[in-house]
Amino acid sequence: MTTLRSGTSRKVSLLSSNGAPLLASVAVPMQKNEKEQVKGWLEAMQSSSPPRSLSGIDDEKNGISIKKLTKDQYEKWVVKHPSALHMFETIYKQARGKQIAVFLDYDGTLSPIVEDPDCAYMSNEMRTTVKEVAANFPTAIITGRRRDKVYEFVHLPELYYAGSHGMDIMGPAKGCNGYKADGLQAKDSKGNEVVLFQPASEYLSLMDEVCSILKERSKKFPGARVDHNKYCATLHFRCVSEEDWLALAQEVQTLLKAYPELTLTQGRKVLELRPAIEWHKGKALEFLIEALGLSDPSKVFPIYIGDDRTDEDAFQTLKKLGFSCSILVSTVSKDTCAAYSLQDPFEVMEFLQRLIRMKGSQKIYMCNQGSIL
Ligand SMILES: [Mg+2]
């Protein structure tokens, strides 16, 4: 039986005696500091989501237009994090003579953010673009989603995929663009040879249990949705009334206390529970760079594009590496370690297409010079 301690004297069971999740939530009054913790999570979650005022509603508060305020803040912010399209020549000059490697988040980066996460499709034009990127550079998708789910959306077998915030990495056994990763040799569901790396595999049954409890607990909140992202339980707030957010987040807090093996992260209208191991998108990026033999900074130029707080770990990893290009996808000002910005997946596609064109023109130049790239 799993139990939790709330405060110093209360003890509440989360599982019934036969191990099944309890269907009803146990009402435990929140202590003041517990409430502040939950509020902090929600504030962090909101700060990583664009405000509604940008979606057409120009709220007026004390005579100040929130839309205008947000726009003014963005204009100041973008000076510090300039558009990667405007800075393309500079970025490409830094990359000249080096092997470019491309690492991409999925939601909000390759696909638009939508209310139903099952409908976050990427366009055919984006798929064609990513395919061409992979034909020119070693390429990986690093996402919070389940690896198999993101593969359903992207459907390009030539890429590396790091699902569950990098805790579930798989790539083609023959490698990507000539770069082959070391790892456990395995077969995918279609019998194809693949390489696998799963640093949190011992947490799989625990995550099944936690997702099951969280699904039951969130049922009483209309619009709440839990995705079992294999090594990560993702609770979506996007379609939940803001009046319910505090109580819903309290359910997460209750679970977190019951399972000290887990940790919490915030994203765009989501709270996520995952194994409290020293592993995240930044570690997955490091792993892939190392495994693909791309760790010599004098020869390699990694590019990472992402839109969320969980991508900050990858931006920090690149900052430590030195020569690299980190790009945050955002229409609003945000605290970020990323050097550059792009506004939306359309701009991401344009940036990737320019990379491909630049590589093509470099090939022609090198052939004219009598060299083989
Ligand atoms: Mg994202």
CATH number for region 81-199+279-365:
3.40.50.1000
Q: How far is the CA of 22 from the centre of ligand 1 (A)?
A: 32
Q: How far is the CA of 366 from the centre of ligand 1 (A)?
A: 36
Summarised one tens digit per residue, pLDDT across range 90-108 is 999 999 999 999 999 999 9
Q: What is the DSSP string of 89-117?
A: HHHHHHHTTSEEEEEE--BTTTB---SSG
The DSSP element (H or E) to which 162 belongs, if any, is: strand 160-163
Residues 6+ apart with CB under 8 A from 17: 1
Q: How far is the CA of 209 from the centre of ligand 1 (A)?
A: 25
Q: How far is the CA of 107 from the centre of ligand 1 (A)?
A: 4
Type of residue numbered 159: L
Predicted local distance difference test score (pLDDT) of residue 6 = 32
Q: How far is the CA of 263 from the centre of ligand 1 (A)?
A: 19
CB 226 within 8 A of CB 215: yes
3-state secondary structure of 64: strand
Predicted local distance difference test score (pLDDT) of residue 25 = 38
pTM score, whole prediction: 0.79
On average, the pLDDT of the chain sits at: 84
Looking from the CA of 241 toward its CB, the CA atoms found within 13 Å total 6
In the chain, where the domains are located: 81-199+279-365
Q: How far is the CA of 332 from the centre of ligand 1 (A)?
A: 15
Q: Give the residue ranges of the chain where pLDDT is below 70.
A: 1-31, 50-64, 66, 173, 175-177, 181-186, 362-373
Predicted local distance difference test score (pLDDT) of residue 10 = 32
Predicted local distance difference test score (pLDDT) of residue 221 = 97
Predicted local distance difference test score (pLDDT) of residue 48 = 73
Summarised one tens digit per residue, pLDDT across range 340-362 is 999 999 999 999 999 999 887 76
Handedness of CA 177, 182, 186, 188 (dihedral sign): negative
Long-range contacts of 314-323 (CB under 8 A, 24+ apart): 314/103, 314/142, 314/281, 314/282, 314/284, 314/285, 315/282, 316/282, 317/282, 317/283, 317/285, 317/286, 318/285, 321/289, 321/297, 322/297, 323/94, 323/98, 323/297
Predicted local distance difference test score (pLDDT) of residue 46 = 82
Residue 97: CB atoms within 10 A of its CB come to 10
CB 325 within 8 A of CB 301: yes
Q: How far is the CA of 320 from the centre of ligand 1 (A)?
A: 22
Handedness of CA 107, 112, 114, 120 (dihedral sign): negative
Predicted local distance difference test score (pLDDT) of residue 293 = 87
